[in-house]
Copies of this chain bind each other. A is one copy, B any other.
Amino acid sequence: MSQPDFFSADQAVIEATLEKLLPAESTPPATIHQAMRYSVFAGGKRIRPVLCYESARIFSQQLDAAATVGCALEFIHTYSLIHDDLPALDNDDLRRGKPTCHKKFGVAMAILAGDALLTLSFETLANANVPPDRRVRIIAEIGRAAGTVNGMVGGQVADVQAEGKPVDAAALEYIHRSKTAALIRASVVAGALAGGAPDQDVARLGRFGEAIGWAFQVVDDLLDVEESSAALGKTAGKDQAQKKATYPALFGIEKSRAFAQELAARAHRELDCYGDRAAHLRQLADYLVVRRA
């Protein structure tokens, strides 16, 4: 399945906003800004920012603030990749076909570039053009989603600790929902909040985001098994080599694929009430589950 037709237009908005929000490479100390930009502009698809942006579109035509909030999410996503790739964690040399941040700038600078992107994310949110009461809700949502209690860092810790050990379905669910789904859910929720959605819709979009985020990780596991190194731009089959907990390893490929489809259907049902206003978000959901083919 190819990208939805609006996707590259959204990406262009996000790229321009990222460019504006990141300090110039020449701003002292230059090296850290070079490292931050190197990793942010290493070819990501901007899935979280686009989800945020299209979630806001259901409720508003003024999408500048949602683009800014989306970029803050991309900073967090990028920081997590930089730190996950470090020698002490996944020890990856390649990311999206290019040397990882620490291979290019050294371990010290990669640690600091990750720290800096996480910090810049919250500074960016604090200055976003969203009413203050909604701005603090967005920051709280994203902070929780990136944190240790059912959040991204918690999922990463559980993932590291599960390596080489037998993992049951409950443990795998915890890892995937925390490590990946939480921030994708927060992307959709933050977009809804930036767009001015009423509380009931914020909750509904949260359920949509949770389902789609979980499906996204299941598909990621499937891709790691099925695709070659070249297509992924990273070392494929690595999950298996590292004995990482994955859906295909636990349930097999067919059941994993069916589960991803079920989650996608669950996500779609949450959008039914919005009719055409959610057309883009619906296409995104399909793209994320049957994506990169």
Contacts and interface: CB of A to CB of B under 8 A. Distances in A.
Interface of A: 23, 27-29, 31-33, 36, 79, 83, 86, 88-89, 106-109, 111-112, 114-116, 118-120, 122-127, 132-133, 135-137, 139-140, 143-144, 146-149, 151, 153-154, 156-158, 160-161, 174
A4 B291 CA distance: 62
A225 to B, nearest CB: 25
Identify the 3 closest CB pairs spanning chains A and B, nearest first: A123-B143, A132-B132, A126-B139
A86 B115 contact: no
A139 B153 contact: no
Contact of A157 (B29, B123, B154, B161): B29
A52 B144 CA distance: 24
B143 A109 contact: no
Chain A facing B: main interface SS: helix
> How many copies of this chain are found per oligomer?
2
B126 A32 contact: no
A122 B148 contact: no
A132 B131 CA distance: 9
A109 B157 contact: yes
B146 A108 contact: no
Contacts of A137: 126
A111 B136 contact: no
Contacts of A106: 88
Contacts of A136: 126-127, 132, 135-136, 139
